[in-house]
Amino acid sequence: MALNTSPLREITQEDIDTYNRDGAVCIRKVLNQEWVDILLEQAREVIVEKKDVGLLPTIPGRYMARCLPDYRKLMFEGPVAEAAGKVLQSKEIRFFFDEFFAKPPQSDAATLWHCDRMAFPVEGKLVPFPTADELEFSEPGDMLVVHPWVLHYSAGNPTDDWRVAISERVFGDDIRWAPRPDCLNIAGVSFDEMLDGEKPEGPLFPLLWSQDGRKEDDSEYPRGFATRWPKRDMGGVNEYDTFKKMKEKEDAGELSVSEKSPDHKKVGAH
């Protein structure tokens, strides 16, 4: 079977209503098994084997579409943008960035409760959605759509295999720049380019899907990064020690106000 370019099933009114009511919905059967197999194989190379495939050695769990052809294909040709657009009832979907989330076998590392909204320099219905085994009741190929204001966390992994999720972050048609000193610059552009109130566009934020059939190809989307480095050991995909130490502080009532504020080390692992 070929890689599917549209969700394997229609997005229903129940899916839309659930998202509007709860801020999150699990969409079943978005990716077929062929997608799962090729994406998981490369994810395991990076996460488990720590293989150098061209990703940033300091943050190997992010920006896969710049280096890995199959993840680039997922972004531009896969079904996730269409599924997100229909759930959000947005006229168009633009790409923001992508990343892996992973937990090793028999891990008790838990991600603290948090929301993602405060980290991003925008206003509107920005939606991050993991597209793999993120929830206990999800299956490979399902897609979780989560509103950025929704509080969420991830428990440890009691299984004997790695738990891997792939996340593509996208913009709906109402997203506008709203840069702030406390947000993260993970969009790949300078804060100077984020003109307050204007719409993200251009090569870094390509149009992936629209209701009227418009979309952009990958010809102008960047390949690689703005620096080069000698061959070196790859870092871990997620920083579990940080979460473990913060959870110990939280349980002891010792978590400071500054530690509770948005920070990439606190919201980067699921």
User: Where in the chain are the domains?
Assistant: 13-213+233-267
* pLDDT recorded at residue 29: 93
One CATH from 3.30.365.10, 3.90.950.20, 3.30.420.280, 2.60.120.620 for 13-213+233-267: 2.60.120.620
Q: Is the separation of the CB atoms in 7 and 32 below 8 Å?
A: no
Task: Please compute the mean of the pLDDT values over residues 32-45 and round it to a whole number.
Answer: 93
Confidence of residue 245 (pLDDT cuts 50, 70, 90): low
Task: Please compute the mean of the pLDDT values over residues 26-36 and round it to a whole number.
Answer: 94
Closest CA to 239 of 258, 263, 261: 263
Question: Which tens digits make up the pLDDT trace of 4-24?
Answer: 999 999 999 999 999 988 888
Among 75-79, 114-118, 155-159, the range scoring the smallest mean pLDDT is 114-118
Question: Which tens digits make up the pLDDT trace of 191-215?
Answer: 889 999 999 999 999 999 999 999 9
Question: Which tens digits make up the pLDDT trace of 45-90?
Answer: 888 888 888 888 888 888 999 999 999 999 999 999 999 999 999 9
Q: Is the separation of the CB atoms in 53 and 230 below 8 Å?
A: no
pTM: 0.82
Beta strands 163-171 and 127-130: pairing type?
Answer: antiparallel
Find residue 98's DSSP bridge partners: 168
* pLDDT recorded at residue 133: 38
Q: Which amino acid is at 212?
A: D
- % of the chain beyond a pLDDT of 90: 42
Task: Please compute the mean of the pLDDT values over residues 179-193 and round it to a whole number.
Answer: 82
